[in-house]
Amino acid sequence: MNASPRPPLYQIGGHVQSIYPSFFRKVEIPYERERLELEDGDFLDLDWYRTGSRKLMVVTHGLEGNSHRPYVTALLKLFGEHGFDGLGWNCRSCSGEMNRLPRFYHHGDSEDLRKVVEYALSRGGYEGVFLSGSSMGGSLTLRLLAEFPERLPKEVSGAFVGSVPLDVYDASKELDKPYKRFYMKRFLRKLGEKLKTKEAMFPDNPLLNCEGYHRIRNFVDFDNRFTAPIHGYADAFDFYARASTKPLLGRIEVPVMIVQALNDPFLGKECYDVGRSCNPNVKLVITPSGGHVGFMEAGELYTWTERKALEFYLSEVGG
């Protein structure tokens, strides 16, 4: 494969390379849905792509994504062609049905992913599990590997992640730049719609009061008002500090590849290095193009990163 992505000629620049795949790329696979009931009374919807394998690929979607996004389905399809079962799971509120509790999901909480992996192992008897995630899904994947490495199931052999906001505050500042705010506005609109649903579900919960929501202009405003108090952080900046995976990378004990595109409109400069980590298990690849969760190439069904993920697994993880 090419050493770096060669985007189609019509995909000029990071914005087009990010937006085009999100709206126009379609890769469908035959999912089987299963609901995982959680001990706290909530649920997670799991979408299985079964091939009859003893190896499993688990893919985590990004902020306000879901298991049907093409960067999830295509990766599961590709790995399915190479002897894997696949599992695309949906974060709370992202499966098409609102979750039951006041809380949502966020960059700093990988415990739901842990529950998914542990459940899959208990149910499927898998001998090996490989993880992947894009954007926020990459954050959750890295956090699962790094936060409590001693609790990681022994079957988890490694991970491939891309377009990851390793420094969450730096990424939030990047999307607050005037020529990028249309991304933020889209996120805030979708999150606002969910919050209004939550407000109707829990009318007496002051943390879900949406009055004046139209005055929220950026993620700092949103995270100060909703993310932090709902999920137990002091404020937005406490959330950013504790939710960022960059300080944790030195703890990872399995092979990991992180791919970031220099023209990714979502990432600031702090997202292009691994900080003080000199961890030989963590390989950072920076490409000149690809956009945010894009990386399409002319004439290819699979993106450069999807094929890179398989190459990384075959050469450095599972053989």
> Helices in 163-312 by DSSP H: which ranges?
168-174, 181-201, 219-222, 228-231, 236-243, 304-312
Q: How confident is the model at residue 318 (pLDDT cuts 50, 70, 90)?
A: confident
Structure tokens at 155: 């079957």
pLDDT of residue 175: 96
pTM for the full model?
Answer: 0.96
Structural class in CATH, domain 13-167+245-317: alpha beta
Q: How confident is the model at residue 2 (pLDDT cuts 50, 70, 90)?
A: confident
> Helices in 202-316 by DSSP H: which ranges?
219-222, 228-231, 236-243, 304-312
Tens digit of each residue's pLDDT (9 = 90 or more) over 227-276: 999 999 999 999 999 999 999 999 999 999 999 999 999 999 999 999 88
Sequence-separated (6 or more) residues with CB below 8 Å from residue 22: 69, 293
Mean pLDDT of the chain: 96
Q: Span 28-39, mean pLDDT?
A: 98
- Could you tell me what percent of the chain has a pLDDT over 90? 95
Ramachandran angles phi, psi of 245, nearest 5°: -90, -15
Q: Please list the residue range(s) of the chain that carry CATH number 3.40.50.1820.
A: 13-167+245-317
pLDDT of residue 77: 98
- Could you tell me what percent of the chain has a pLDDT over 70? 99
pLDDT at residue 319 above 70? Answer: no
CB 59 within 8 A of CB 137: yes
How far apart CA 288 and CA 213 sit, in angstroms, is 37
Q: How confident is the model at residue 278 (pLDDT cuts 50, 70, 90)?
A: confident
How far apart CA 123 and CA 131 sit, in angstroms, is 17
